Amino acid sequence: MPTLLTINDIARQTGLEESLLRFYESECAEELPKKILRGDTLFFDKASVAVFTSIHSKYQAKKHLQKQSPEQYGRVIAVTSGKGGVGKTNIALGLTIEFQRQGKMSVVLDADMGLANVHLLSGITPQHDLMDLIKGKVEMSELIEAGPEGIGVIAGGNGMLALADSGKQDRHHIIQSLVSLEKAAEIIVVDTGAGMGQGVRDFLQAADELIFVITPDITSLADAYGLLKALHQGKMSPRPIYLVVNMVQTLKQAAVVATRFAGCAQDFLGISITNAGYILKDTTVTQATARQTPFSIFNPTARVSKNIRTIAANLLQQNMTEPTSSAFSRYLNLLPAEYQRPPP
Ligand X SMILES: Nc1ncnc2c1ncn2[C@@H]1O[C@H](COP(=O)(O)OP(=O)(O)O)[C@@H](O)[C@H]1O
Helices (H), 69-158: 88-101, 118-122, 130-134, 140-143
Which partner in ligand X, Mg ion, none is near 286 (CB below 5 to 8 A by kind)?
ligand X
> Judged by CB under 6 A, which of 144, 162, 190, 247 binds ligand X?
247
Q: For residue 192, give the nearest of 340, 53, 81 by alpha carbon.
A: 81
Q: Which is nearer to ligand X, 86 or 187 (CB)?
A: 86
Least distance (Å) from Mg ion to the CB of residue 155? Answer: 13
The answer to whether 122 contacts Mg ion (rule: CB under 5 A) is no
Sheet of 274-280: strand order equals 145-146, 152-155, 106-110, 187-194, 75-81, 209-214, 241-248, 274-280
The interface with ligand X within residues 148-167 (CB under 6 A) comprises none
* Cα distances (Å, whole numbers) of residue 77 to 33, 104, 117, 267: 53, 13, 18, 25
The answer to whether 85 contacts ligand X (rule: CB under 6 A) is yes
Number of residues that bind Mg ion (CB under 5 A): 2
Q: Which is nearer to Mg ion, 89 or 177 (CB)?
A: 89
The interface with ligand X within residues 284-343 (CB under 6 A) comprises 285-286, 289, 304
Q: Which is nearer to ligand X, 107 or 245 (CB)?
A: 245
Least distance (Å) from Mg ion to the CB of residue 117? Answer: 6
Which partner in Mg ion, ligand X, none is near 2 (CB below 5 to 8 A by kind)?
none
Q: Which is nearer to ligand X, 56 or 306 (CB)?
A: 306
* Interaction mask 83-102, Mg ion, x per CB under 5 A: -----xx-------------
Residues 6+ apart with CB under 8 A from 241: 209, 210, 211, 212, 228, 265, 271, 272, 273, 274
Interacting span for Mg ion (CB under 5 A) from 81-89, 132-140, 152-160, 218-226: 81-89
Number of residues that bind ligand X (CB under 6 A): 17
Q: Report, in this order, helix, strand and coil percent for the chain, each rounded to 5.
A: 50, 15, 30
Task: List interacting residues with ligand X (CB under 6 A).
Answer: 81, 84-90, 246-247, 279, 281-282, 285-286, 289, 304
